[in-house]
Structure 1
Amino acid sequence: MLTTLAVENYRSLRRIVMPLRRLNVVTGPNGSGKSSLYRALRLLADASRNGAVAALAREGGLQSTLWAGPEHVRKDRPTQGTRRTGPVTLRMGFAGDDYGYLMDLGLPIPNGSEFDLDPEIKREALWAGPFLRPAALLVERTNSEVRIRSASGEWQRAGHKLQPFDSMLSEFADPERAPELMVVRERLRGWRFYDHFRTDATAPARLVQVGTRTAVLAPDGADVAAALQTIRELGPRGALDDAIELAFPSSRIEVVNTAGRFEIAFRQHGLLRPLSGAELSDGTLRYLLWVAALLTPRPPELLVLNEPETSLHPDLLPALANLVVTAAKETQVIVVSHSRPFISALAALSPELQTIELIKEQGATGITGQGPLDEPPWKWPSR
């Protein structure tokens, strides 16, 4: 389980060190930095597939994603630009009870290449335990050089230099020389994100699809019928029916198999025939998608949900909250939400819920009530 998330100089996240528990809700007003935090988590996951640099490019490049305010913020002075004293840097990292990892990206030294605006990975570090200490370092990367600590505690060079756009997570996850790096890489690749399922008339979830066993719902929800049937056959007994009954009393969900093509059939009290996926209301379909995502028979180590309450009727929020709390029994969950009724429903079901409220001051995102001494211990290594 992650215990700390740290981000520096990413959009409005000038510097944030966030404590994490089993079930977390990140909330705050519009523009407070909730979406930036969600994107930062996705960037960390992209690093495990060597995709962090490409993901930043899709957001407009490093210059577009960097903190746009002054290098040093003084509350007693008006905001004004000054001469930069430190390097351009975008830092992201996390720590848990067993391992921690961080990545530091910056700008290249111009050399006439057409890719001179691409960010480069300047530093990476993997360490044992919740705190970065020299004695806890297992693998570290400085520019193109990688060092791996052997079982005897001695440092060894990795053997070949990294390209500035390659992460050591993908290039040096060696089961013999750096097994811890492979463990962390696979964890990151297993993080699961769900963000705004489509429910419009042409949404993939409304279409009949070829059905195969689906333990993990696709990000676009296209295989929702197969995922629901998989939950019925492989998930906890009665969990699917209970989730439907809680949201829609006296209703039930069926999956129609026509020559291997699966389709939702939703039976409601008072109707003579079931409703197909194409006929469902946006809210009903969205709830079914969350059922398929949260009752997964193959829970990840980390599940991140971005505004799951969107387009749901307030009457469905307690049922959705029950799904989230149930999922948190098997996996760590981070929910980004601005819905007070939904957060209240979560709090009523889980006394262990941690609510993290973001606030923006002088353009920078902070955590309400968190002072410098309240932050989890965190240290960025120098370049």
Structure 2
Amino acid sequence: MSLLSIWAKDYKNLNFYSTPLELKPLNILVGPNGSGKSNLVGLLNLIHLSVFQNSEDIKGLEYACDYLGGSHLLYFNRERPSEVSVKYKFTGIAETRNQPIHLDLKLFVSQSSNRIELSEDFLYSPVRGDEDQPFYYYKFHDHSIGSGVLSILQPDGSQRFQRISDIPVDSLGLLSIDERIQKDEEVRELLLKSSIYAVRQHLLDEIKGWRFYNANHMNSQKIRNAEPKVSSGSLNTYLSESGENLAAVLEQLSNDSVDFEERFNEAVKQLFPMTRRIRATRAGLLNLTIEWSVQGIGKGLTLRDMSDGSVRMLCWAVILLSPKLPSLLVIDEPELGIHVAWMKILAGWIHYAAQRTKVIVSTHSPDLLDCFTDRSDCVISLNLRADGLVSLDGIQEEQFKARLQEGWELGDLYRVGDPSIGGWPW
């Protein structure tokens, strides 16, 4: 399963509900500060954070909305009360006869409260590929808030709708179905006759599998000093957002895959040709650190002997070269603190990851953009309009063909301020 497309209406400064953003295996976001790159990433984080129950008191949706801005999710020029509309399209599975899966949400922003609640929550697939003929697995809050219908499988193979009530407005239907199963035996029996359960489980697994990384959140000093606990299983399959479990992830992936260990060491030799080997090793009985063996130096070095940019590149190498990639990998400004000479190496790692999963990269670096000149079809330029909204524009290579033939690269257009490639908007 994979995310195919997203739609948004009145979500902050994004309004592209009539024409969705179709995601490719590799997607490069460019645009000036304030153009909406972080808002676009926030659209993905909205449902990612919503599928986690953060505590007994705060539901995932409430936490996600608060984290992303609360009532400020609504476009600033829209009067309250109003709604924010978002939609996500995923590849299909056997249970949907390989028809794509749609999740449609409307978030209600009231006049007086900063709290955001669901006013629509639909899960459906097209019938025989016809997007205008949806088959609904559930429709919650459709005619009245707090009620909705489930699609129930009949003995003869046909479907019928069963209306249910007491549906929470602060939790996605993907989760509230589970809540109802625990509380309501009648609903539990209904769901056993439904095709919803397999579909929603695949969807939850997909969304929970997404990973988000922002270079601003990686504290090189803390990564250097961290000595994560030795663990087993899948606890350290993925690097944390802060990067402080770097040694534990490196050990886990190296134990699981000799190919990864070799590939990671070759990657480090690209950065530092004098490297003999880099590996996770014990720091006492229960903790881990990273040992860096260098030609001509008898004593092993550690992360404390590396610069901030070097430590960050190790993080990107673990993330992008991993044999166990997340189902969606979102990276914000990976170029921060990285020398220009390493941009080509970093871009190569990004290309390698995008061959194996869906990757979204947001960047302000013309040097990194240079490395994607032959993949200009993957670049999405976010441009501010006079009304404060943003247009999402694909790069039209024909427009720059003459310059490219002269030897220009994509980053050169950014450097000279071409607004169509994220250059100066003023």
Q: Are the structure 2 counterparts of residues 133 and 149 from structure 1 closer, same or farther at C-alpha, using a change threshold of 3 Å? A: farther
DSSP-derived class of the 2:43 partner: helix
CA contact (8 A) 2:8 2:14 kept: yes
Partner residue of 2:132?
133
Tell me the distance in 2 between the aligned counterparts of 1:153 and 1:133.
20
Tell me the distance in 2 between the aligned counterparts of 1:109 and 1:364.
22
Q: What letter corresponds to residue 167 of structure 2 in structure 1?
A: L
Partner residue of 1:374?
none
Which of 10-19 and 255-264 deviates more? 10-19
Structure 2: tracts of 5 or more residues without a match: 53-58, 93-100, 182-190, 397-426
Q: Are the structure 2 counterparts of residues 254 and 153 from structure 1 closer, same or farther at C-alpha, using a change threshold of 3 Å? A: same
Q: Are the structure 2 counterparts of residues 199 and 268 from structure 1 closer, same or farther at C-alpha, using a change threshold of 3 Å? A: farther
Offset of residue 353 of structure 1:
5.9
CA contact (8 A) 1:28 1:359 kept: yes
Question: Does 2:330 correspond to 1:304?
Answer: yes
DSSP-derived class of the 2:82 partner: coil
Question: Does 2:157 correspond to 1:156?
Answer: no
CA contact (8 A) 2:5 2:89 kept: yes
Tell me the distance in 1 between the aligned counterparts of 2:327 and 2:274.
34
Which of 254, 263, 275 matches 1:232?
254
Which of 251, 258, 278 matches 1:253?
278
Structure 1: tracts of 5 or more residues without a match: 72-83, 111-115, 372-383
Question: Does 2:10 correspond to 1:9?
Answer: yes
Superposition map of 1:38-117 within 5 A = 38-49=41-52, 50-62=59-71, 64-69=72-77, 71=78, 88-98=82-92, 99-108=101-110, 116-117=113-114
Q: Are the structure 2 counterparts of residues 206 and 322 from structure 1 closer, same or farther at C-alpha, using a change threshold of 3 Å? A: farther
Tell me the distance in 2 between the aligned counterparts of 1:352 and 1:180.
35
Q: Are the structure 2 counterparts of residues 87 and 134 from structure 1 closer, same or farther at C-alpha, using a change threshold of 3 Å? A: farther
CA contact (8 A) 1:12 1:365 kept: yes
Tell me the distance in 1 between the aligned counterparts of 2:336 and 2:158.
51
Q: Are the structure 2 counterparts of residues 35 and 340 from structure 1 closer, same or farther at C-alpha, using a change threshold of 3 Å? A: same
Q: Are the structure 2 counterparts of residues 171 and 276 from structure 1 closer, same or farther at C-alpha, using a change threshold of 3 Å? A: same
Question: Does 2:395 correspond to 1:364?
Answer: no
CA contact (8 A) 2:146 2:167 kept: yes
CA contact (8 A) 2:50 2:64 kept: no
CA contact (8 A) 1:325 1:346 kept: no
Question: Does 2:204 correspond to 1:199?
Answer: no
CA contact (8 A) 1:211 1:225 kept: no
Partner residue of 2:175?
170
Tell me the distance in 1 between the aligned counterparts of 2:123 and 2:395.
27
CA contact (8 A) 1:205 1:221 kept: no
Tell me the distance in 2 between the aligned counterparts of 1:48 and 1:255.
33
DSSP-derived class of the 1:180 partner: helix
Tell me the distance in 2 between the aligned counterparts of 1:328 and 1:344.
17
Tell me the distance in 1 between the aligned counterparts of 2:173 and 2:330.
24
Point out which structure has higher relative CO (alpha carbons under 8 A, 6+ apart).
1
Tell me the distance in 1 between the aligned counterparts of 2:90 and 2:139.
18
1:1-51 CA-to-partner distances (Å, cap 9, x unmatched) read 322111221221133631111111111122211111111210121222252
Tell me the distance in 2 between the aligned counterparts of 1:34 and 1:347.
20
Select the structure that is richer in helix: 2
Offset of residue 322 of structure 1:
1.7
Partner residue of 2:419?
none
Q: What letter corresponds to residue 56 of structure 1 in structure 2?
A: C
CA contact (8 A) 2:103 2:124 kept: yes
Tell me the distance in 1 between the aligned counterparts of 2:67 and 2:291.
38
Which of 347, 361, 379 matches 1:321?
347
Instruction: Give the superposed CA RMSD.
Output: 2.6
Q: Are the structure 2 counterparts of residues 279 and 288 from structure 1 closer, same or farther at C-alpha, using a change threshold of 3 Å? A: same
Tell me the distance in 2 between the aligned counterparts of 1:164 and 1:199.
37
Partner residue of 1:223?
245
Q: Are the structure 2 counterparts of residues 320 and 369 from structure 1 closer, same or farther at C-alpha, using a change threshold of 3 Å? A: closer
- TM-score, with length taken from structure 2: 0.75
Which of 120-129 and 131-140 deviates more? 131-140
Which of 191, 194, 211 matches 2:230?
211
- TM-score, with length taken from structure 1: 0.82
Question: Does 2:145 correspond to 1:121?
Answer: no
Tell me the distance in 2 between the aligned counterparts of 1:281 and 1:354.
32
Q: Are the structure 2 counterparts of residues 205 and 331 from structure 1 closer, same or farther at C-alpha, using a change threshold of 3 Å? A: farther
Identity %: 22
1:328-374 CA-to-partner distances (Å, cap 9, x unmatched) read 222111111121221332455xx596111110102111112599xxx
Q: What letter corresponds to residue 367 of structure 1 in structure 2?
A: L
Tell me the distance in 1 between the aligned counterparts of 2:306 and 2:130.
49
1:221-254 CA-to-partner distances (Å, cap 9, x unmatched) read 1210111122222236122112212222231312
DSSP-derived class of the 1:150 partner: strand
DSSP-derived class of the 2:315 partner: helix
CA contact (8 A) 1:44 1:92 kept: no
Q: What letter corresponds to residue 123 of structure 1 in structure 2?
A: E
1:58-117 CA-to-partner distances (Å, cap 9, x unmatched) read 34421x222112x5xxxxxxxxxxxx6x9611122211332121211013587xxxxx43
Q: What letter corresponds to residue 265 of structure 1 in structure 2?
A: E
Q: Are the structure 2 counterparts of residues 153 and 364 from structure 1 closer, same or farther at C-alpha, using a change threshold of 3 Å? A: farther
